[in-house]
Amino acid sequence: MADLRLGGVFAVFILAALVVLQLLVVLTYDDQSPTASFSKSFNQWKSRANEGSADDIFLVGAGKADVTGPVVEVDFNGYATLDQLGTGLKQRIYSRAFIFADPNKPDDTFVYLVLDTLAGDTAVRHGVLQGLVALGGAYARYGEHNVALTGTHSHSGPGAWMNYLLPQIPTRGFDKQSYQAIVDGAILSIIRAHENLAPGRLSFGTIDVEDANVNRSPYAYDNNPKEEKARYSANVDKTLSLLRFDRQSDNKTAAVLTWFPVHGTSMYNNNTLVTGDNKGVAAYLFERSISGDGRFTDDAVIGFSQANVGDTSPNILGAWCEDGSRKECRYSDSTCGGTNEACHGRGPFFREKDNGAKSCFEIGRRQYSKAKELYERMDTSPIKLTDGSAVSSFHVYQDMNGYKFPSPFNSTILETCPAALGYSFAAGTTDGPGAFDFTQNSSSPSEGNPLWQVARAFVHQPTPKQQECQGAKDVLLDVGTLTEPYAWAADIVDVQVLRVGQLFIIISTSEATTMSGRRWKEAIAANAKSQLSIPDPQVVLGAPSNSYAHYVTTEEEYFIQRYEGASTLFGPNTLAAYINLTLTYLPYLGGASDVAQLPTIQPGPSPPINTNRSLSFVPGVLYDGAPIGKSFGNVLLQPGSGSYGPGDIVNTTFVGANPRNNLHLESTYASVERKGNSGWEVVRNDRDWNLEFLWKRTNTFLGHSEVTIRWQIENEYYSVDNPTPLQAGTYRMRYYGDSKNILGQISSFEGIGGTFTVKAS
């Protein structure tokens, strides 16, 4: 997580964590583990093995489902600031599932999930796997060994769903509703992908995106060997990789999956509207652009997956001091006048007073534009994936506490450490700086403040052995040894690689920096050639995935101890350990006859699942009330009487109720309707970037609230490649709400705003 730092709430929540044992009886959830809410009434998958047997035919399915959790009164995940409490919705977030299988042996399969969330997570993955078990039947082929759950790393989604205590602290613990929305949506996307399984062909390609990411820790990157850096044109990966699936029956494209590294931090840490950040925008634009396009299936799914994202930033204009000095932040430690609070990265439209929204759209648009260009190019010059029988995966759990192994670089015996975070972790990054006097490229707080040394000892003083193991990192929080009231961070991580044809997908639990990702991918490619006899392997990396294990840097970057190095949990040998583990199990992705000679993979120690014992300081919804003389859904503020055009903003305000009463999954809270010849037609809803749903509490005691639906009418910029552009006419807004009375009963209602006129230009 780009900025999961303790910041301004560090002292408060450390104290809270020390007393939580006394609160367990009151604040824990019931004994029933959260599980998927689906029944077994689903369409059984039908074998399609006889439809295709050519060497280049694979079985592929893709599906998409809503995972938008509570959009108000729950803290966002990522920036770790209690000020970022949700107040509404700018864009719904989704799970996109991609299933690959051998058409002749459909049990040889794997699932790759792309969620518009901060990261993959141990508890969420556990919930998804439980749901697949409950479905039974053909879904039994999807399990621990072949399901990969990745996050796009958006920092503007509802939090309070993660497994470990440390990431729960800045989101006030665990919220079952938030958790369940992600689990249920992920399962539904798998069901839809499974029901869409069909034989077809896969092609792969790459294209450079020059203007959508920068390195936010170049000082650490510079510490890598000169000869290694000289092999690359930039200090971040500029390559977007794309996998395309064309159905055999009609040659229509049913799925597109891309990988490109850029942090989901375009929306700033003062944004309180839920979005999928720049990758959510990219997917939205691509999916919008193909509506009615005969080259695609009607339900084609487009996924923009994350890659070696660790030291990347979408704030491409660099980091500047927002203190009036008009200076760039200091190169070595991203400070302004010795402190980090004023140092902020700037997106392409940083001057807009919109909490990063236009910059977010622009970075998403640039990814979409290049992906669409590459898609078109691949009509004539793709890399065809072959060997439809080569669909395989492996997965094991590895305890990283004291793992000893031979280095994949020079065969010396190395060891990893119990999980720990250094002082620069608390400094945050230029995408979201921390508070107090922590700085990056630092191994201790400022000399004038002994409070942090006391705080460190108050939590748990690291042992000399642990400090020695962590090397350059001066330990602030030895989270791997903290188990009360439950585990603070992951010591047990997922080790997983997927293969389809000659494409290998590394599933990284940690945010790999640019160079660590390059080394890892190169190691897999080299060994795929030497061990598996694949002449031209293609390798991508998906992260952060499965269980969130913070960061992984190169050893050289680790020595500098900027944010990414301080957040590399298991010490300077973490990358070497990850590469060693994936290479150890790589032979299991070979041919069937070779794999049959190998010993059975042992699954390893299972990580703890903390959903049933997680603490929650997230208050529930007590009741809703309407002002005297008003009813829920009544209009409080109508649009103006004049006409509106592209670029204008139209608002309608209603007597509202708490949107946590009903998440409206697979539906909408708000819509814009246009009057046609046969009645009112919905033309915008929650999925659209330019329509915002805003909720405001107006009287806590009486339960009063207001909802404003705000539409920024799309101009040419926001209408990029839209096949159904804006039409002139008469419009109105509709609000779909649900109120809760004092007895806890929930009732649905609607509000319809007054009409207004829109001119097309």
What is the tens place of the pLDDT at every residue in 354-410? 999 999 999 999 999 999 999 999 999 899 999 988 999 999 999 999 999 999 999
Please tell me the predicted confidence (pLDDT) of residue 341. Answer: 85
555 is in an annotated binding site: no
Please tell me the predicted confidence (pLDDT) of residue 1. Answer: 55
d(CA 338, CA 30): 48
Query: For the residues of 466-485, what is the DSSP string, one character each?
Result: HHHHHTT--EEE-GGG--SS
Could you give the count of Cα atoms lying within 13 Å of 255 in the half-sphere of its Cβ? 34
| Other CB atoms within 10 A of residue 228 CB | 13
Domains of the chain: 7-400+490-596 (no CATH), 635-758 (2.60.40.2300)
For 178-191, the pLDDT digits (tens) are 999 999 999 999 99
511 is in an annotated binding site: yes
Give the three-class secondary structure for 288.
Answer: helix
For 76-98, the pLDDT digits (tens) are 999 988 889 999 999 999 999 99
Query: For the residues of 403-432, what is the DSSP string, one character each?
Result: -EEE-TTT--EEE--S--EEGGGGGEETTE
Please give the backbone phi and psi of residue 408, each rounded to the nearest 5 degrees, phi first.
Answer: -70, -10
Token duo for residue 320 = 């500047």
Please tell me the predicted confidence (pLDDT) of residue 461. Answer: 81
Token duo for residue 619 = 């208050």
Q: What share of the chain is helix, strand, coil (3-state, %, to 5)?
A: 25, 30, 45
Please give the backbone phi and psi of residue 201, each rounded to the nearest 5 degrees, phi first.
Answer: -115, 145
Please tell me the predicted confidence (pLDDT) of residue 282. Answer: 99
Please tell me the predicted confidence (pLDDT) of residue 301. Answer: 99
Query: At residue 53, does pLDDT exceed 90?
Result: no
- For residue 305, CA distances in Å to 231, 378, 507, 541, 627 come to 25, 19, 11, 9, 46
Query: At residue 281, does pLDDT exceed 60?
Result: yes
153 is in an annotated binding site: yes
Dihedral, CA of residue 681, residue 686, residue 692 and residue 693, to nearest 10: 100
Instruction: Please work out, in degrees rounded to the nearest 5, the angle formed at the alpha carbon of residue 493 by the alpha carbons of 489 and 495.
Output: 165
For 432-465, the pLDDT digits (tens) are 654 433 445 555 444 444 434 544 555 668 899 9
Query: At residue 614, does pLDDT exceed 80?
Result: yes
The stretch 508-518 carries a mean pLDDT of 99
> What's the N-to-C CA distance of the chain in angstroms?
42
Token duo for residue 238 = 């500029």
The stretch 210-233 carries a mean pLDDT of 98
Higher pLDDT, 216 or 426: 216
The stretch 592-599 carries a mean pLDDT of 95
Please tell me the predicted confidence (pLDDT) of residue 441. Answer: 52
Please tell me the predicted confidence (pLDDT) of residue 475. Answer: 92
**Least confident segment among 263-277, 430-444, 745-759:** 430-444
Give the three-class secondary structure for 759.
Answer: coil
Please tell me the predicted confidence (pLDDT) of residue 573. Answer: 99
- Residue 16 binned pLDDT confidence (cut-offs 50, 70, 90): very low
Query: At residue 50, does pLDDT exceed 80?
Result: no
Highest mean pLDDT among 19-33, 90-104, 453-467: 90-104
Please tell me the predicted confidence (pLDDT) of residue 761. Answer: 76
Which are the contacts of 58, defined by CB distance < 8 A and separation ≥ 6? 100, 101, 102, 103, 199, 200, 201, 202, 245, 385, 388, 391, 500, 501
Cα–chain center distance at 372: 22
Token duo for residue 77 = 């995940």
Q: Which of 676, 659, 658 is nearest to 668 (CA)?
A: 659
Please tell me the predicted confidence (pLDDT) of residue 340. Answer: 82
The stretch 208-221 carries a mean pLDDT of 97
**Least confident segment among 4-18, 658-672, 712-726, 727-741:** 4-18
d(CA 556, CA 222): 9
d(CA 53, CA 55): 6
**Least confident segment among 240-244, 481-485, 583-587, 736-740:** 481-485
Instruction: Please work out, in degrees rounded to the nearest 5, the angle formed at the alpha carbon of residue 239 by the alpha carbons of 238 and 242.
Output: 150
- Residue 525 binned pLDDT confidence (cut-offs 50, 70, 90): very high
Please tell me the predicted confidence (pLDDT) of residue 3. Answer: 52
Query: At residue 621, does pLDDT exceed 90?
Result: yes
Give the three-class secondary structure for 203.
Answer: strand
Query: At residue 18, does pLDDT exceed 70?
Result: no
d(CA 719, CA 113): 28
- Residue 431 binned pLDDT confidence (cut-offs 50, 70, 90): confident
Give the rounded percent of residues in the chain with a pLDDT score beyond 70. Answer: 89
Higher pLDDT, 387 or 710: 710
Please tell me the predicted confidence (pLDDT) of residue 235. Answer: 98
d(CA 632, CA 134): 39
Please give the backbone phi and psi of residue 254, each rounded to the nearest 5 degrees, phi first.
Answer: -105, -15
Please tell me the predicted confidence (pLDDT) of residue 13. Answer: 42
551 is in an annotated binding site: yes
Give the three-class secondary structure for 149.
Answer: strand
Query: At residue 486, does pLDDT exceed 50?
Result: yes
Please tell me the predicted confidence (pLDDT) of residue 457. Answer: 56
The catalytic site residues sit at 313
Which are the contacts of 509, defined by CB distance < 8 A and separation ≥ 6? 120, 490, 493, 494, 543, 544, 545, 546, 547, 548, 549
Instruction: Please work out, in degrees rounded to the nearest 5, the angle formed at the alpha carbon of residue 259 by the alpha carbons of 364 and 5.
Output: 75
- For residue 575, CA distances in Å to 396, 430, 555 come to 17, 24, 8
- Residue 233 binned pLDDT confidence (cut-offs 50, 70, 90): very high
The stretch 740-747 carries a mean pLDDT of 98
Please tell me the predicted confidence (pLDDT) of residue 423. Answer: 87
- Residue 71 binned pLDDT confidence (cut-offs 50, 70, 90): very high
Please tell me the predicted confidence (pLDDT) of residue 306. Answer: 99
d(CA 650, CA 640): 8
Token duo for residue 568 = 């590399």
Radius of gyration from C-alpha coordinates of the chain: 25
